[in-house]
Structure 1
């Protein structure tokens, strides 16, 4: 079969069929998987890390592992679920090594461990993003402002308190309330930020 014809046919393969092709030695199948998943996995990592290079490194590590261990990886669900969980776990490991995120890590781990990983195959990145942004917009104004400064700007409680002229205790309470509210609203999603 001509190489370009084969490459074009890969577009129509489902994820598991592509993985099987890759396991049989097809680098083109791996490239197709990379094209399919790189963007959503990058967004997943970036949404928490808020750092482009770290998010890129995480996704690169996930695909490097897939490349080197693809033949021995046993999937209990879909390939998408496996890649999401692998990305999530690497993000958690990176967060654990960054002191500025330690106060968020416990809450994040609890939310993630309660999630049903099997449901990942039914969720698209767009659905997660749209739902999360809607729930963040629905937070009370001051709570939303504090939460977004904490998560998107990665400011400390002290920096947020100074910027908004609030006490650090108020900032801490607002973030805690926002996390609790969002966790409740997003409970049926398997990846929460």
Structure 2
């Protein structure tokens, strides 16, 4: 059978039949599901994230997971509902990780703002920045690498984890530990001044 004819037959199948074909190893059935749902899932993610790249990444991750779980995937409702929920969950996870990162940064900024008392008025911003860089450099190597990637790039925790071959949880913990360490060191610095 000619591939074009076969593809047009897949076009006519309902979602659940395509899923069954996909479970049996038919890559063209996956491609058809991808074509059917990519656009609506992207719009769903984009409406919440308002960032094209983030929305594309979320949908791509949903389909990668969908592809990798082909044989074991269990869907109680429709394929559409499964993909919508998977997309929504990924969007929520992304928002939570961004919020956590922003919370850490905000916490560090508040700490630095709070330390500007009378004894710190003589210290220039340049000296504080130099001291902060010195303390960052003194962090353990892996912690420093994770922390610097998080503050100097727009990478998400997941992207940092992938780049460094770590779990997302390890990345979050390393960033949190780095900020805690820096707050402690900077508190000592301001105390001795």
Within 5 Å, give how 1:37-186 maps onto structure 2: 37-99=37-99
Other-structure match for 2:28: 28
Higher helix fraction: Structure 1 or Structure 2? Answer: 2
Secondary structure at 1:11 match in 2: helix
Q: Any conservation in 2 of the 1:95–1:101 contact (CA below 8 Å)?
A: no
| Runs of 4 or more above 6 Å deviation | 100-103
| CA distance 1:73–1:102, shift in 2 (3 Å) | farther
Question: What is the TM-score normalised by the length of structure 1?
Answer: 0.51
| CA distance 1:66–1:56, shift in 2 (3 Å) | same
1:31-80 deviations in whole A, cap 9, x for unaligned? Answer: 00000000000000000000000000000000001111011011110010
Instruction: Write the distance in 1 (CA, Å) between the matches of 2:49 and 2:101.
Output: 9
Secondary structure at 1:98 match in 2: helix
Q: Any conservation in 2 of the 1:22–1:29 contact (CA below 8 Å)?
A: yes
Other-structure match for 2:14: 14
Q: Which has the larger radius of gyration?
A: 2
Q: CA deviation at 1:23?
A: 1.0
Secondary structure at 2:33 match in 1: helix
Instruction: Write the distance in 2 (CA, Å) between the matches of 1:2 and 1:11.
Output: 15
Question: What is the TM-score normalised by the length of structure 2?
Answer: 0.51
Q: How many residues align?
A: 103
Secondary structure at 1:73 match in 2: coil
Q: Any conservation in 2 of the 1:59–1:87 contact (CA below 8 Å)?
A: yes
Q: Which runs of 5+ in 2 are unaligned?
A: 104-193
Q: Which runs of 5+ in 1 are unaligned?
A: 104-193
Instruction: Write the distance in 1 (CA, Å) between the matches of 2:92 and 2:101.
Output: 10
* Structure with higher RCO (Cα < 8 A, 6+ apart): 1
Q: What do you get for the CA RMSD once the two structures are aligned?
A: 1.9
Other-structure match for 1:185: none
| CA distance 1:71–1:97, shift in 2 (3 Å) | same
